Structure 1
Amino acid sequence: MTEDDRRWPDPHATDTVRRFLRRHRRAVDTILTSARLDGLDELADAAAEYAAAPEGPCTPEGAAVAFAIAQHAAVAYRTGARREREFIDRFVDSWMIEHGHDFVTAVAEARRGVRVEEPDPRAGRMTPWLRLAAADEDGSAADEALIRRVRDRLAVVAESGEEGTSHIVTEPKSITTDQIRRFEAAMVDGRRWRVAAHRRLVLEDPALGQLARRLVWARFDGHGAVVGTFRIEADRSLVDVGGTLVELPGEALIGIVHPIHLGDSVDAWRNSFGDTGLRQPFEQLTRPIYRFTPEESESTVLHRFTDRQVRTDRLFALQELGWEVTREALYRRLTPTREVTVTLDPGLEGGYRYEPERQRILSVELRGGTFGILDAVTASELILQLERPAA
């Protein structure tokens, strides 16, 4: 067993899996359509349900079929044993976090029973297709790769004597800049954890538990609305802004709350953290909040930035926030169909040494709708990210 097997599950694994399945949605839909034509409607529906929401209610069979299709669709992206292992681990980590270890074992077993086959024009198969493996059929290399990884990863749990993962990593951890960035990204992107997964992956981690204590958290309903807010005490108990103990049901969704969701309670939370003496690792309670004007909400152009001067070095820093930097413009994809473009003058030459000190913003435009269709957090963060280089 390697040290890699003993690591904690990646708390962002589900986000990675979700993005991957969206990227290969056409391949998934094509194979599931073929499966329905072959009478495998129930299996296809289960796989479609998992592909749409890997963190939601689903069956091991559905996850196994979606994973098998993912293995087939992404073969060009995996070269070598290490890349194959990393690919599988993203799914295994997500299954552990969202559904538990029994679910992981069930998926590995279900994976034995499905095959994704190449097109066979002579048999009338013009696209990849799904079939059920025969009872006496030997396992394929693809499903055996998953089974081996699951066996290695869950062996650690068996050594600890319990399902929890608190013994996977025993050495103390220190807080890193990357961990802080990930928590800030979780607040901005709306990352949610189930209560058990949050306790296992965050509260019981020596470093992440320290970070968690210095932030305000919230319980969210299925529509993303805040049900209640709380902070975390040193003993891992949860208390509201007034210090009253908070109990959460096991199926609750929790996340780092964005200040735009706190409303009038933000001042009370600031006072609460002032009393504890805890410093926040990034701007949460003091984070600037922005909103579109009515005119901006109905437009595809954000005129407030037109002709603004921005420091060139700060534009390159936007790459850490997901922006793509090209010669003439900056791009930020918000959804598969919506993208923001920031057009610049005189443009970028390819390196700090050769760049002018300042750029002029010619326009900020949204493709895929008007700015009013963006949710409040996305809108506020978009304006904040562009305001800072222009300061």
Structure 2
Amino acid sequence: MNRYPRRALRLLSAAATGDGEQASLSRMLLPLHVVTHPELTKETLSALPEASAVVVAPLLKLGERDAEAPAEALPALLVAPPWTRKRTGRKARVARDVLGVPQAEVDWKPGEQEAWAATVVAETPWWREHDWSREIQQMQQGTWRGDIRAARLFTTGPEDVVRPLLDAFAPEHVWDTENYLRPVVARHGLHALPMVSRLAARYPATACGLLLPYRSVEVARQMAEWLVRRQSLRPTVLAWLRRHGRAAAALLVPDAVGPAGTPCTHAEQALRQLAAELGAEAVRGIAAACGAEAEEIVADLLAGDPLEAALPARMPSPCTWADPALFLQIRLTGGRGALPADAVRHVTTMLQISKPGDVYPGLATVTEHCDADSLAEFAWALFETWRFHGMQAKDSWALHSLGLLGDDETVRRLAPLVRAWPGENAHHRAVEGLTVLAAIGTDTALSHLHAISQRVPFKALKKRAREKIDEVAEGLGLTTDQLADRLVPGLGLADDGSTVIDYGPRRFTVTFDEQLRPCVHDEFGKLRKALPAPGVKDDPELAPAERKRFAALKKEVRTIASDQLRRLEAAMVTGRSWTTAEFRELLVEHPLLRHLVRRLVWLGDGDGTVTAFRVAEDLTLADVHDGAWTLHVDATVRLAHPLHLGDELEAWADLFADYEILQPFSQLGRPVHAFTDEEATGHRLTRFEGVTVPVGKLLGLTKRGWERGTPEDNGVERWFSRPITRDRHLVIALDEGIAVGMVDEFPDQTLETIWIDAAPGDYWPNHTYPHRLGEIAPVIASEILADLTDITAK
């Protein structure tokens, strides 16, 4: 590269524009080459092909450095961080006796308890009139399973009956947690604290605010943990600390002067935060009430530097490959210049000593004073350089730095790599990538994380991605499906689900068809085959930019479409439901999904009746006779399967045909199957046993909810299965089985035995299977029979 710099520039830039195996390597080498030969690059740029010049031109900024900010313009941490000087040292001490630990109590602000008691949530008439005796009996017996709506029991039932049941209240499904439980807290006070603490620990994002009136050692410990580990909960934690002030400090002191460990570390951080709010003297005075020894320990704690206290016992060696000269500069906010090289190295050190869930607190100063876009680009450059140097495990902090400083563009770059890593024998690295996506935590990041949990060929990675999504959803008090609904981007579309591509003299309206493929209409409403290229009369700057926006939109929608079509079809089969509010907000009024919603038949279940309806062009609702219909505010909505429509099926098919409504997937024309009487009473589906099918057809079922078996001897998957319920699966024993990594090894698979069981596994003829095929719900049974009929058809 140094001997033939022009040739190297030409070859590297050409390779970097492609998708070949050397493209990634070339993209890593090219910035180094441009920085090394900036003048030559400027001279040669005009001679490069257009595609190469587009790649090279932005890299010239690497050589055109912004003015570096003077030391006095930088925060002290970036000039002389604590690891550059001798540590002051603080001997670990434990107080032998802690006096006067406060008892738990509730501290209401004026009028707050009354306001909480008056909190109202929407409820159905059935729920208001419900006889709670069955739930009470189940809670007394410890067998109750229900959702958050049962909180009404504790606000309406006799205190002497319902108060003892608070400990048994552990709803499996929660939403709008604070509104449901505020009246419970207002009525039962300290008696509700154990229940609220459990829910807040499980669903912190939606229930943490319920702990605000409470004061106890356990609540203080939870708040201190969230202060350190849950950045998103920081506003609530700070509100609790400020609200209880001195009382909060008294509750934190026992852990802070106790044995070394996680509670001690968290309490120390919380006391330092309170010292910043109340003053160190005030906190020391509070500690004095716990004993002279506790006062000395807290005084010693507050006298130290919190940034020094967070340093590891042994600092890592400087990272020689992370040369600031090779990266875009980190800019200060407000146009105050860029960080000098030494300050950049200090930022790198902070990233080195940060770990997932244990971030060095000084990074908060970095993100406060530095431009977010430049930090994201810096983190990506670190990551790419780490990849170039072999992705050594000891430097995996470069990957996790993306979770600390990355943005949505980081997500779009990283997600394809995470998908590919398991195929490169890098499953562990892929799992770390999932952690990074969860740490970035934006809607885009969670959307990609959810997509990985649904659509990658690596079973172990899908499982871990599902676990991450479940963690996020649980923290928000949502199911995984409810979270997925909320992650579908609107893509900047107008309220009517369209967008305008503006070329200046010409404008084109883009809508979407039943598969969410873009449809381009000119200014006269005529449908065009594709968006035309900009012409000589079009705006020379606006038109190319708008065409590029359309290309990006088309690519993004293509990814979203496959996921949403699959999710809606699965919802029809499983019977998943939405509340009226969710249906309106997340489906009907969503600018992209409305194009699918209007092409399907739905069921509204309210007031004890079920009515099939569709969403018209103007978003009003209509029944099978095309008459206006109103969805009850307390109804639930689900997608209709042909089995649900009965005698109305033909009328709905005729209506859709008359309006020329094309469906996104087979709904009204979907084949319907059923078990014979003999099959329903048996435990084996013999009509398909002994049939041989191509392995490719069998694997195609994975797109319809079927799952491959666990590899056994010689890496062969001996069965195929489909979940029916949480503890029921239809299982197919295969002969020869699917060889992992070599699916063509056994190109034909015989469906040896088909039965229903509690869990997937191999079939043993001498085993008794008590579950009968008739236990399967009619819709699921129809889908299973349709799938097997399809793959066994000649």
The alignment's TM-score, normalised by the length of structure 2, stands at 0.33
Query: Deviation at 1:257?
Result: 0.7
CA distance in 1, matches of 2:751, 2:235: 49
Query: Deviation at 1:133?
Result: 5.6
Give 2:180's aligned residue.
59
Give 1:334's aligned residue.
724
Query: Deviation at 1:66?
Result: 5.8
Query: Deviation at 1:227?
Result: 0.8
Give 2:102's aligned residue.
none
CA distance in 1, matches of 2:648, 2:621: 17
Aligned pair partner of 2:683 in 280, 296, 300: 300
CA distance in 2, matches of 1:135, 1:351: 51
**How much is the aligned-residue C-alpha RMSD, in angstroms?**
3.7
Distance 1:135 1:212, change over 3 A: closer
What is the identity, as a one-letter code, of the residue corresponding to 1:139?
M
Is the contact between residue 490 and residue 592 of structure 2 (CA under 8 Å) also seen in structure 1? no
The answer to which of 363-372 and 315-324 deviates more is 315-324
Distance 1:323 1:65, change over 3 A: farther
Distance 1:239 1:352, change over 3 A: farther
Aligned pair partner of 1:234 in 584, 608, 617: 617
SS at match of 1:245: coil
Distance 1:227 1:353, change over 3 A: closer
Matched, 1:108 2:208: yes
Matched, 1:213 2:299: no
Is the contact between residue 187 and residue 257 of structure 1 (CA under 8 Å) also seen in structure 2? yes
Query: Deviation at 1:69?
Result: 5.0
Matched, 1:171 2:492: yes
Give 1:23's aligned residue.
none
CA distance in 2, matches of 1:149, 1:179: 34
The alignment's TM-score, normalised by the length of structure 1, stands at 0.64
SS at match of 2:570: helix
CA distance in 2, matches of 1:170, 1:229: 30
What is the identity, as a one-letter code, of the residue corresponding to 2:563?
D
What is the identity, as a one-letter code, of the residue corresponding to 2:567?
R
Q: Quick check: which one's helix share is greater?
A: 2
Matched, 1:203 2:203: no
Aligned pair partner of 2:626 in 234, 237, 243: 243
Matched, 1:388 2:790: yes
Number of corresponding residues: 290
Distance 1:244 1:376, change over 3 A: same
CA distance in 2, matches of 1:227, 1:358: 45
Give 1:118's aligned residue.
none
Query: Deviation at 1:377?
Result: 0.9
CA distance in 1, matches of 2:634, 2:704: 31
What is the identity, as a one-letter code, of the residue corresponding to 1:358?
D
SS at match of 1:301: coil
CA distance in 2, matches of 1:252, 1:304: 41
Query: Deviation at 1:353?
Result: 5.4
SS at match of 1:109: helix
What is the identity, as a one-letter code, of the residue corresponding to 1:206?
P
CA distance in 1, matches of 2:630, 2:490: 28
Distance 1:248 1:66, change over 3 A: farther
Query: Deviation at 1:134?
Result: 6.4
Give 1:45's aligned residue.
168
Q: Quick check: which one's strand share is greater?
A: 1
Give 1:323's aligned residue.
706
What is the identity, as a one-letter code, of the residue corresponding to 1:196?
A
Q: How does 1:87-236 map to 2 (within 5 A)?
A: 104=206, 107-110=207-210, 139-142=223-226, 145=231, 147-148=233-234, 169=490, 171-172=492-493, 175=516, 176-220=561-605, 227-236=610-619
Higher relative contact order (CA 8 A, sep 6+): 1
CA distance in 1, matches of 2:592, 2:164: 46
Give 2:377's aligned residue.
none
Aligned pair partner of 1:356 in 740, 746, 751: 746
Which of the pair has more CA radius of gyration? 2
Gaps of 5+ in 1: 1-27, 30-38, 72-87, 93-103, 115-130, 154-164
Give 1:8's aligned residue.
none
Superposed CA deviations along residues 85-137 of structure 1, whole A, max 9, x for unmatched, are xxx7xxx6xxxxxxxxxxx5xx33115579xxxxxxxxxxxxxxxx9666777
SS at match of 1:262: helix
SS at match of 1:289: coil
Distance 1:363 1:251, change over 3 A: same
SS at match of 1:347: strand
